[in-house]
Amino acid sequence: MAIEPQVFICYGRPDKDAAYALAHEFWKNQIECYNYLAKPVEDRFGTELDHRSFLLACRLFVALLSPESITRFLVAEEIALATQHAKLSDRRFCQCRAYVLASTDPMEDRFPDPDLLFTAERLADVPGLVRGLTDHMGPEFTSRAQRAWTVNKGLYPDAWAALDATYATAPKPPPPILRPGRQSIFGDDREPSLAELKALGRSRLNRLWLDVAKRRDQLRRTYGDRQSFLEWCLQRDRELIEAALQELDASGEGS
């Protein structure tokens, strides 16, 4: 019988590129992961197995948290199962529960406290992120996972080769890390100065202010009152525009 993966990656489908990049890097290190896109060796025989059995057998549970993933029931269920199973098994399984943020939002506050937390910028260095996870787990974990990888390769060469072919494609580069201004109406890495905004003139600033209000309304209709980094950016844009308009009014400049 195939040996189950030692790593379980929990994520919502919109975050599949980040999940693939993580699984790809683990595979390069001869460590197999369970994830929805590249089913493990054991899941390639006969009828598909209940994915929760892989969660309950893993040593390392990695959850990718983004505004999209945290709204999915299965993601919340898997995080809850990992937390409870770690307690019930006295840390024999789900020994480490790691959250990897795919956004600058502090989304980890909505779930049980993790053992490890990686902020969004770490996704720009997936090899370093995987190295941090395996270093935390220790050499015994890596050795066990690599032995399982080798055993499955010998026992089930066709299924193993099919999975190896899945990881032949290099992962897509991660999107740039969002910083204040990145998602704003100004579309820049930095905030514009008041002098730059005032130079746009009162008419342009008024149009920009209306654009901010429209985008915030659309965001709230989609996500309700939940805070997000994009909403923070839009609120910051609004404050900057209003400050520039106030200075124009005070000086009598602009048209």
Pairwise CA distance, residues 48 & 43, whole Å: 6
**Residue 158 to residues 52, 136, 155, 162, 246, Cα–Cα distance (Å):** 24, 32, 9, 6, 69
Q: If you search the block for the tokens 């901010």, which residue do you land on?
A: 212
pTM assigned to the model: 0.68
pLDDT in 10s for each residue of the chain, 255 residues:
457 889 999 998 888 899 999 999 999 999 999 987 777 777 666 555 577 888 888 999 999 998 888 888 889 999 999 999 999 999 889 999 999 988 776 676 778 889 998 888 788 889 999 999 999 999 999 999 999 999 999 999 998 999 999 999 989 877 655 444 455 666 655 677 888 888 888 998 998 898 888 888 877 776 565 555 667 777 878 888 999 999 999 887 655
- C-alpha neighbours within 13 Å on the C-beta side of residue 84: 7
Pairwise CA distance, residues 176 & 157, whole Å: 38
Pairwise CA distance, residues 176 & 120, whole Å: 10
